[in-house]
Structure 1
């Protein structure tokens, strides 16, 4: 069966172009080149209520997004860097996935078991390693597997004004990282789809 990728854009912009979207578009294209189905969601367009359960009540858009996450084989979280941190909407998504810890099956496996995650980070200052480390740990805590080199990032000059979306060409190092992210993540997802974790 074909693999499915869900890319979640954690830009703070509810609409319009963003550097995060440009990076995610490149990542999605790399997966499409591997004949993998892809879909994308922009969190800032949704009403993701604060909380740590899978349904925070009337008007909460998280339950539908949660189902999309569970239905996907691969989750890509794309975030800008703000104040040296992942965006607030990115952190909110992670907080909502905390509910996976209590939603195990009869073998103790979270709904995210067998799913693979990867990261895309953009910013105009340093911090990509710090942000990816935070996201790696959080996603692993809530049951996702992480392939080697499962991050693609770009950061510009500290205190500069150039954003990723402003670049006329994608740097070769970024393109190479995106290709590796797609290959390694797809490989691990395929292995886990065919041979799930055993659980208890």
Structure 2
């Protein structure tokens, strides 16, 4: 077997790693415990650069964790940890006169094992539950509270009124998600490393199908025709739980960038915004900007607001006034009427003709610049 020079030993001090190119492949070199080893650089999961990963002693050996999603490989054998059958390619190393030589071909070939993702099959295959005649309305309450010390929520109460009206008048199928009752992780920013690191389904969901956002993905993307989002105003902004959810929805928008794949088609969104202090139009603008970027369509007059103004610090009276007011009941019903009229129209649209005028990977100003560490 032929060997080629890839580095000097001084370029790879003890406790370090380095990415080198061998023919048309990138290889991760490691120097740990006085031994230089080499395995394929491209993680078998999504192609992350193993040479940039963290190396630790664990599982009875020395393992590198992919910096994208944490898949692990033994840096000597290329094997995955116990319980997994993945095998990374392994290259032979020789050291001659402080020169690191590597085999031109791997001595062990990579094998990507089959992983059981059956719990996510509907998301992977995009098994939509909407039809030309379905009327599925999803309510999402983003208010945060301790349910053991439950308080009255104006935004959630208005959402309940809207869903009840939709069922009573139109026979709609409705669901309500209370984000505070879902145990879901924050977005962990994989996209900031590489666009391919942000996946569909979300890589966090793939790691843990019980993560609470899995329900949001299923109900919002696959099931709902109409999404009603209700939020209180918190310091002039939507609820922090809303933003936590929105960050995890980057996986939906990113499919446009990566694959020109629009997941949200022929769906309507509208909003309920309540608060003691006034900033309703600004919050509505933030919500509308984000939801249109996902692909949602809005009805005329797409939000209902309730506020008592800047000086309204007597929040106990806010609730009293809210409960006495006929305004919320009337306007939420009118919003539902508008949503249903809008969905009846957009269901006639040919989804094949829907185009997202968004940046794609080839539009990047640095598209012609090669990153020597990346495999993609």
TM-score by length of 1: 0.88
> 8 Å contact 1:18–1:165 — kept in the other structure?
no
Runs (5+) with no aligned partner, structure 1: none
Deviations 1:18-77 (A, max 9, x none): 222211111112312222111101001111211165241335211222111111000111
Which stretch of the first structure deviates more once superposed, 48-57 or 122-131?
A: 48-57
Q: CA RMSD in A?
A: 2.3
Aligned residue for 1:62? Answer: 213
CA distance in 1, matches of 2:217, 2:243: 15
Q: CA distance change for structure 1 residues 165 and 146 in 2, over 3 Å: closer, same or farther?
A: farther
Counterpart of 2:254? 102
Say if 2:337 is the partner of 1:179: no
2:157 — aligned with what? 22
1:43 to 172, 179, 185: 179
Query: What's the CA shift string for 1:79-130, capped at 9, x where partnerless?
Result: 00010100011111222222112335xx945211211100011111111111
Gaps in structure 2 of 5+ consecutive residues: 1-132, 190-197, 356-376
Answering whether residue 170 of structure 2 is matched by residue 34 of structure 1, we say yes
Counterpart residue number, 1:3? 135
In 2, Cα distance between equivalents of 1:167 and 1:150: 20
Deviation at 1:194, TM superposition (A): 3.2
Q: Compared with structure 1, are the counterparts of its residues 98 and 149 closer, same or farther at alpha carbon in structure 2 (3 Å cutoff)?
A: same
Give the Cα–Cα distance (whole angstroms) in 2 for the partners of residues 86 and 63 of structure 1.
22
Q: TM-score, normalised by structure 2?
A: 0.49
Residues 78 and 151 of structure 1, relative CA distance in 2, 3 Å threshold = same
User: Deviation digits for residues 141-160 of structure 1, max 9, x if unmatched?
Assistant: 11111111111121124323
**Equivalent residue runs for 1:88-167 within 5 Å:** 88-104=240-256, 108-157=260-309, 158-161=312-315, 162-164=317-319, 167=322
The structure-2 alpha-carbon separation of the partners of 1:110 and 1:87, relative to structure 1 and needing over 3 Å to count, comes to: same
Alignment of 1:77 onto 2:212: no
Structure 1's consecutive aligned runs of 4 or more residues displaced over 4 angstroms after TM superposition are none
**Bigger-Rg structure (1/2):** 2
1:165–1:142 distance in 2 versus 1, CA, 3 Å: farther
Give the corresponding residue for 2:129: none
Cα distance in 1 for residues equivalent to 2:248 and 2:183: 12
| Separation (CA, whole Å) in 1 of partners of 2:320 and 2:265 | 34
Tell me the matched-pair count.
199
Question: Between Structure 1 and Structure 2, which shows a larger proportion of helix residues?
Answer: 1
Moved more, 92-101 or 35-44: 92-101
* 3-state SS of paired residue (2:233): strand
Whether the 8 Å CA contact 2:154–2:322 is kept in 1: the answer is: no
Partner of 2:89: none
Asked if the contact 2:134/2:225 (under 8 Å) is kept, the reply is no
C-alpha contact (below 8 Å) 2:158/2:329 kept by paired residues:
no
Aligned to 2:343: 189
Rounded to whole Å, the distance in 2 between the matches of 1:37 and 1:24 is: 15
How far, CA to CA, are the matches of 1:50 and 1:165 in structure 2? 35
**Structure number with higher relative contact order (C-alpha < 8 Å, ≥ 6 residues apart):** 1
